[in-house]
Amino acid sequence: MKPLQSDSTVQNNQVAPSSLSRHLQFLGSPAKLHIEHADLQSLATQFGTPLYVYSGAEIRDAFQSYAQACKGLAEVTICYAVKANSNIHILKLLADEGAGFDIVSAGELARIIAAGASPAKAVFAGVGKTVEEITYALNQGVGCFNVESEQEMHRIAEVAEKLGKPAKVSLRVNPDVDAKTHPYISTGLKENKFGISMQLAPRVYAFANAHPFLQVHGIDCHIGSQLTDASPYFDALDRVLALLDQLATQGIHIHHLDLGGGIGIRYRDETPPKPADVLPKLIEKIRHWAAQSGRAMPSLSFEPGRSIVGNAGVLLTQVEFLKQNEDKNFAIVDAAMNDLMRPAMYEAFHGVTPLIIEQDKPSAVYDVVGPVCESGDWLARNRELAVAPGDVLAILSAGAYGQTMASNYNSRGRAAEILIDKGQVRLIRKRETIEDQLRCEQNL
C-alpha cells in the first residue's frame, strides 16, 4: 500500500493519546492498549471481534464528577440517560452509585427494573408515549413524566384517572435556544420536535394543576447533546426562571427543576466543559433567583448520558483486508455501520488506534470501512495507521450510542460486550447469532 498524503489526514499518534483516559492506556514494550488491568489484544483473542469493551472505573469517575459538582445540595438527582448505553449491567453499576434514570420508552423502564433500580427514580421523557407505555409506567410507579405536548398531558390524565393512580408531571419546555451542536442532536430550538413552547406552557400547566389525577412536579429543559459551550445552558435557564415567575402569578408554584444533560466529550480536539465548570454556576444562579423571589430552593436533577459512558468504551475490530483503489487505501474491518452508526449517521469522528504499537511498522493513510453493502459504511476516514491483515483496531470513545444504535442490517449479529470492573473481566452481552435473529420470525 502506498502512503497517501492528505490535508485531512489524522496521524495515529496524534489521535490516540487525546482520546485516552487514565483507565485506557498503552503499557509495556511493544506498547499494548489496556483498559484498567486488561490487555485488549487478549480480550479480542478470547471473545472475538467486533467487541465492545467498557471500563467500570471510568463510568464511576464520570458519574461522581456530577455528584461532586452538586456536593452540598441536599435535593439533587443525577438521572443517567439510558439511551446512551442501556446494558443492564451498566445500569446496575450506576444505580449502585446512586443514579436516577432518564428514560424514553417502556423498554428502557423495563431495563432499569431488570437492573434492580427503583422506577421511582426514573423520569419518563419522549415525544410519543403510547397509552400502553403510560399505563405500564404508572403501574410500575415511575417517578415523573416529562410531558412534551398538550395532547400528551391529556392522554396521561385520562390513563391516570382510568387507573385511579395520580401521575406526577413536569413540562419539558422548549426555550428556543441554539445548543450549537449537530442539528440531529439539537433539541431546544422552536423548529425541533421536542418540548412545549414557552407561550403554550402556562395553559398546559393550568390544566395539569386543576386536574385531580395530575400532580404538577416541576419543569424540564434539555437543549441538546454533545455541547462544548456552556453558555446555552445559562440562556435556557434565564428563560425557564422567567417562566416560573410568570406561573407564580397564576398561583402555580414549581418546586423541581430538571435541567437536562448534554455536556459533550472529547472525540478529537474538543474542549467540552466539565460538570464542575457548569453545575455549581447553574445552582448558584438558581439560588440567587430563589432568594430574590422569596422562594425555597427547588430540588434539581440533571440528565447526563454521553458524558458518563462515552469515553469509557471502545469497539474492537479486526482488519480483514487492506485494499487499494486508485488514490484511496482501505482497511476493511469486521465491524460496520450496523455496529457503530455514528460515523455514517452524523459523519462523526472517532479516534482509531491499533492495539499494539510497533515503532518500525510502515504506515499508510486509510479509510477504515466495514463489510456492509453501503458506501456510507465507514468508521474513520483518512487515518494514518500502521496495520496489517489480522491486526485489531480500537475505535475510541465508543461507549455511548454504539450498541444502543446497533442493528441487524445485512443480517449481521450485534457485537458482544465486556465490562472491566473491580479487577474482573465480565461478558455482559453474548454475541448475537443468526438463530437469535430468526427466533421472532414466524415459520411459514
**Residue ranges for the binding site for pyridoxal 5'-phosphate?**
262, 303-306, 401
Closest of 188, 266, 257 to residue 220, by C-alpha: 257
End-to-end CA distance of the chain: 49
Active site residue 373: yes
Q: Which residues are annotated as a binding site for substrate?
A: 306, 342, 346, 374, 401
Task: Give residue for cell 462544548.
Answer: 228
Q: Which amino acid is at 16?
A: A
| Cell 465548570, residue located | 277
C-alpha span between 34 and 25 (Å, rounded): 5
- Mark residue 74 as left, alpha or beta (left: phi above 0; alpha: psi -120 to 50; beta: remaining): alpha
H-type helices in 83-130, by residue range?
88-96, 106-114
- Among 257, 255, 259, smallest CA distance to 223 is for 259
Instruction: Please give the DSSP secondary-structure letter assigned to residue 158.
Output: H
Torsion of CA 216, 179, 402, 274, to 10 degrees: -90
* Backbone CA torsion sign across 245, 247, 251, 255: negative
Q: Which residues pair with residue 368 across a beta bridge?
A: 331, 380
Q: Are 396 and 19 in contact (CB under 8 A)?
A: yes
Among residues 73, 145, 78, 146, the alpha carbon closest in space to that of 297 is found at 73
User: What does the alpha-carbon distance between residue 71 and residue 361 come to, in Å, rounded to a whole number?
Assistant: 49
- CA-to-CA distance for 125 and 141, rounded, in angstroms? 15
- Which amino acid, 40? L
Environment class of residue 33 by beta-carbon count within 10 Å: exposed (0-12), middle (13-18) or buried (19+)?
buried
Query: 81 by DSSP, 3-state: which?
Result: strand
User: Binding-site residues, please?
Assistant: 262, 303-306, 342, 346, 374, 401
- Catalytic pick among 70, 144, 221, 373: 373
Q: Any idea which residue has 442493528 for its cell? A: 407
Cell numbers that stand for 404 in this block: 444502543
| Catalytic annotation, residues | 373
